[in-house]
Amino acid sequence: MKATFTINKKPVHIDLSKPIDISIPVRSGEKNPLAWYIDPPKITPVVEGKWVAKVSEGAVVNFNNIYYNPHAHGTHTECVGHITEEFYSINDCLKTFFFKTEVITIAPTSKGEDYIITKNQVEKALNGKKPEAVVVRTLPNSREKAQRNWSHSNWPYLLEEATVFFRESGIKHLLIDLPSVDREDDEGVLASHNAFWNTAGEKRLDATITEMIFVPHTVKDGAYLLNLQIASFHNDASPSKPVLYAIE
């Protein structure tokens, strides 16, 4: 099914029958991306005495509890409330869901024991474009990202200068295939989170960060329409399902 959207006062044409899902599904057990030193997610049937809420064990319905942390267990979208004393909910901050988006691919550069993404790299990759959202795919880009335990791995991260560049370019939605835009152990500085949401000035309440995505190699760098879907949680973050559509 074809559809036409107006973005920045210009019509764009997409085929809704060809979605590109860049989220990572949550499964019970260890076959998930995992970070921040906590146990894997659990999806288990409710048990009441001898009754197990599972059709294969005699119940009439499957009725599961889910133990899940959005920041640690897979693709999630967060708002400024992730790092502020004042409560902000992603369900209140994200009110529109379609955005003109640029997919860029970056090979983090080594700096001492770290791998970093610099302003020069993201500026060069965007090449003067100022989309509403940016999807950052990092190299190497193996399917291992969909199941990797990132804890204690010192993953690559965005330098503050790179995130400031995104903010000053007017980008409202930053998506990346890493557990965090910041260094795993940065002593609580959270430089890129703070820079992107401008917590030292007028907070960007309508800006979001989405982490732990996976962008296959078959998806070329360039312009897309992004549908950023979240669950309706009254929380700083929610599990999410970002979906790209090629612009015809």
Q: pLDDT tens digit string along 59-87?
A: 999 999 999 999 999 999 999 999 999 99
Mean pLDDT for 205-219 is 97
Q: How far apart are CA 81 and CA 50, in angstroms?
A: 42
Strands 76-78 and 208-211: antiparallel
Amino acid identity for residue 229 in this structure = Q
Give the bridge partners for 123, in sequence order: none
Query: Of all residues in the chain, what percent carry a pLDDT higher than 90?
Result: 93
> Does 1 score more than 80 pLDDT?
no
pLDDT tens-digit map of 90-132: 999 999 999 999 999 999 999 999 999 999 999 999 999 999 9
* SS3 sequence of 192-247: HHHHHHCCCCCCCCCCEEEECCCCCCCCCCEEEEEEEEECCCCCCEEEEEEEEEEE
> Does 11 score more than 90 pLDDT?
no
Helix (H, G, I), strand (E, B) or coil at 122: helix
Q: How far apart are CA 244 and CA 109, in angstroms?
A: 27
| Cβ atoms of residues 208 and 173 within 8 Å | yes
| Separation of first and last alpha carbons in the chain | 13
| Strand residues in 1-132 grouped as ranges (E) | 2-7, 10-15, 20-21, 42-45, 47-48, 51-52, 64-67, 76-78, 98-106, 109-111, 114-117
Q: Confidence class of residue 3 from pLDDT cuts 50, 70 and 90? A: confident
> Does 200 score more than 80 pLDDT?
yes
pLDDT of res. 235: 98
pLDDT tens-digit map of 216-229: 999 999 999 999 99
Mean pLDDT for 20-48 is 95
Q: How far apart are CA 67 and CA 92, in angstroms?
A: 23
Supply the pTM of this predicted model: 0.96
| Cβ atoms of residues 100 and 214 within 8 Å | no
pLDDT of res. 171: 98
**Residue ranges per domain, the chain?**
2-25+75-246
CATH homologous superfamily of domain 2-25+75-246? Putative cyclase (3.50.30.50)
pLDDT tens-digit map of 124-179: 999 999 999 999 999 999 999 999 999 999 999 999 999 999 999 999 999 999 99
Query: Of all residues in the chain, what percent carry a pLDDT higher than 70?
Result: 100
pLDDT of res. 5: 79
